[in-house]
Each structure stands twice: as structure tokens, then as C-alpha cells.
Structure 1
Amino acid sequence: MPTAKPSLEAPDRPDLPDVLPYRINGHHVVVAEPVLLGAGGRPTAQAIQFLRECQSHALTVTWSLRRADAAGHIPPAPDFAFAPLHHLPPPSGPAAPDDWRRAHSYGQLYYRQGPGFVQIKDCRKPDAAVRLTVDHPDLLAAFHTCLDPTTLDDLSHTEREAVSVLAAEELVLVTRGWAVSLPPRIRHWTVPDTGI
């Protein structure tokens, strides 16, 4: 009976969005350029998607924050707050908010997928930690649609209302006409898994 030959290929790499230049070595991702975050719009939504997917795969990420473009043409969005992002890997460097590094821990916000629902655990505010089950079809569809950055103009009236409800709970970030879901899908659990 023939025996299977061991694979000489490297293990599969996680499927990360192709929106930022990065290098990956094992479980460590290094983003090559400072990330424009806080100006809002598409670049911010895509950066959040990238960091969320790194968190989802339990990857260590080294990245630095850029709050506006080099010429200052993209000012910070007036309504942008970093606090809802503290569950994501914090930036390094002088532009990094100190409170992000202090507040961050793995598993603060995540979702688990069920048949016809998602269950979300949100511990970003320790004194107001919640578990939510999103099973309403419109809310569930909006949550899944916004896993990829989406313009509000591309959503139906019902979908925009659903995004508004999710944004009020800080489960979707809406900035300058773009929406992106914030919770990562946890694929790697701490030991013991009750830790998150």
C-alpha cells in the first residue's frame, strides 16, 4: 500500500485583504507604510478591514498610524473616534494614541457564526460588557455586507437603516459615506477559551 508523501509546501497563509502593502512571516505581519486612519472614508474602512482580519487570524501586526496625508490634504474626520477600535491591534510609533495600547487585549470584541445568526461578544467597555445575538434578517445581511467596506450609496434604504442600528451599537463604523463591520470572527482561542 502506497504511503502519502509529506508536503513540502509552506502552511496556508491567512487570506488577508489586498488593501495595504504588507509582509507576512509566520504569524507576524508588518505593514510596509504608515496607515491612513482617522481621515475617514474608504482608506479608513479598508485599514480597519485589514486589521480586523489580522485579529481574526490571531496574527501579530506591526503598523504605524498616519492621521492625514503627507501634504495635509486629507484632514481628520470630525466625528472619528479611536475608542471603538481598541479591540484591534494597536499601532506603534509617535502618532499612536496611548490609550489604545493600554486598552487593547485579544478577544475584546468578536463574533461567532451560527446558522442564521451571529453571536457577538463586546467587552470594549468592561463595565458594560454584552453578548448580542443578531438574527434579524436585515441586520444580519447588513453586518455581513459590511464585512467588506461598503459605501452607503450602494445600500438599499432598509440596509442603510440596519447599518444605522449596528453603528449605534458600535458594531459597524460609518465614516464619510463608508461602512465596515468591526468585530473579527475569532478562529483561534486562548487557553483556556473562557479567557475571552
Structure 2
Amino acid sequence: MYELPPDQLRGAGLAGLTFTRVRLTEPLRPGDGLEDLRLLVAATSHVVRLTWTLDGQPDLPVDRLCHLIPPVSGTGSAARAYAKEWSSLHRYGCFHYRQGPGFVIVKDLRPGADARRMRIEDEDASGFLRMAVTSHAGELDPATRDMLADAETFGLVLRAGDSHLVLPHRIRHFPIPAWAA
């Protein structure tokens, strides 16, 4: 098992850590900006077996985040309660996207809402994928920047100022659990 501070894991290139156990030596604050959430989306996508502690309670309802690797604990009573609920709701693959030639399929099976499946095609699929690999609206072409508001309305994107984060993780490893397919 690797023991790393969060900043070192962000720069490690998660693709090379697939199926590796990593314990973060410092707590994450996924409610402060998007960087800690970005780390969790990437780790979930690359199936990194991440052990981490929640610092503080995020502003987002736990059912918006329960598709990401849950914390093992929290630094205070509110954070511990949030972490416990996150862990109880977590199911790998319950909010993910798959990429195909000219299309993206997004599945949202998180608890607390109706199951949704979206097929995004052609230029919109290309725009969605550009949003998924960038973190600032300024890095996007004008047409894709216009898509950000729609993606946020559909719950696919979180925004904080000029930063954005595509919430569903990309499924990179199969098989997908039967209930998520």
C-alpha cells in the first residue's frame, strides 16, 4: 500500500495506479472547491483502492457524491456521520459514463432520484468529453462553454467560479456490476 499526501497523488498519474491501494496521509475537504472531488472522480474511474478521511462536511447532499470512493471516517462528529452515510449509500458504477464512437452514454442510478440514462451524440458527445478532461471554462471552445449550463442543469457538472467538474466517472474497467449496466 502506498501512503501519499493528496497533492502527490494528484500529480502521480492515476492511470498507473489502477487497482493499487493508496492511503492518503492528510484528510480531504471535498466541499472546498473542486480539486478534492476531481481527485475522487479520477481515483474512482481508475479503480484506485483509496483510503481517505473526510475533513469537514461538504455542502452537497451525500447522494450527489455517493458514486465516488467513500471516506473511511471523518475528522469531527458531523464529518463522521456524513462519511458513514456516504459509505452506506456507495455503490461502484452507480453514476458513470461510457464512451463510444460518436456517442457517450451516462447512467445515473444514485439513490434518492429516478434512474436516468442519457445518450449524448455527435458534437454534444465531443463537448461532454472535452468538459471531462478540462477543469476551467476558459480551456473550452465557445460551443462547449455554452453546454456547461445545460450539463449543470442535468446534474452532470459541478461549477465553482470558472472551474467545472464532470461528476460521473468514466468506466474504464469491465465488467460493470450487473445492477449498473
Q: Same fold (TM over 0.5)?
A: yes
Residues 18-44 of structure 1, C-alpha deviations (whole Å, 9 max, x = no match): 179xxx69631212211132122xxx2
Residues 122-177 of structure 1, C-alpha deviations (whole Å, 9 max, x = no match): 1013650011111141x323322232352234434432220111111111111232
**Any stretches of 5+ residues in structure 1 without a counterpart?**
1-15, 69-75
Out of 10, 20, 25, the position equivalent to 1:32 is 25
Q: Secondary structure at the match of 1:128?
A: coil
Partner in structure 1 of residue 161 of structure 2: 176
Partner in structure 2 of residue 89 of structure 1: 69
Look at both structures and tell me which one has the larger radius of gyration over its CA atoms. 1
Q: Secondary structure at the match of 1:132?
A: strand
How far did residue 83 of structure 1 move? 3.1
Q: Contact 1:171–1:183 (CA<8 Å) still a contact in 2?
A: yes
Partner in structure 2 of residue 99 of structure 1: 85
How has the CA–CA distance of structure 1 residues 115 and 25 changed in structure 2, closer, same or farther, with 3 Å as cutoff?
closer
Partner in structure 1 of residue 110 of structure 2: 124
**Residues 104-113 or 120-129, more deviating:** 120-129
How has the CA–CA distance of structure 1 residues 124 and 26 changed in structure 2, closer, same or farther, with 3 Å as cutoff?
closer
Q: Which is helix-richer, 1 or 2?
A: 2
Runs of 4+ more than 6 Å apart:
none
Indicate whether 1:115 and 2:101 are aligned. yes
Partner in structure 2 of residue 62 of structure 1: 51
Identity fraction in percent: 30
Out of 104, 123, 135, the position equivalent to 1:150 is 135
Partner in structure 2 of residue 7 of structure 1: none
How has the CA–CA distance of structure 1 residues 32 and 154 changed in structure 2, closer, same or farther, with 3 Å as cutoff?
same
How has the CA–CA distance of structure 1 residues 35 and 148 changed in structure 2, closer, same or farther, with 3 Å as cutoff?
farther
**Any stretches of 5+ residues in structure 2 without a counterpart?**
1-8
How has the CA–CA distance of structure 1 residues 66 and 57 changed in structure 2, closer, same or farther, with 3 Å as cutoff?
same
Q: Secondary structure at the match of 1:102?
A: helix
Q: Contact 1:111–1:185 (CA<8 Å) still a contact in 2?
A: yes
Give the count of matched residue pairs. Answer: 163
How far did residue 108 of structure 1 move? 0.4
More contact order relative to length (CA 8 Å, sep ≥ 6)? 1
Q: Name the Cα RMSD after superposition.
A: 2.9
How far did residue 190 of structure 1 move? 4.8
Partner in structure 2 of residue 72 of structure 1: none
1:170 alignment partner AA: G
In the alignment, the residues of structure 2 paired with residue 164 and residue 179 of structure 1 have an alpha-carbon distance, to the nearest angstrom, of 10
Indicate whether 1:141 and 2:126 are aligned. yes
How has the CA–CA distance of structure 1 residues 120 and 26 changed in structure 2, closer, same or farther, with 3 Å as cutoff?
closer
How far did residue 181 of structure 1 move? 1.0
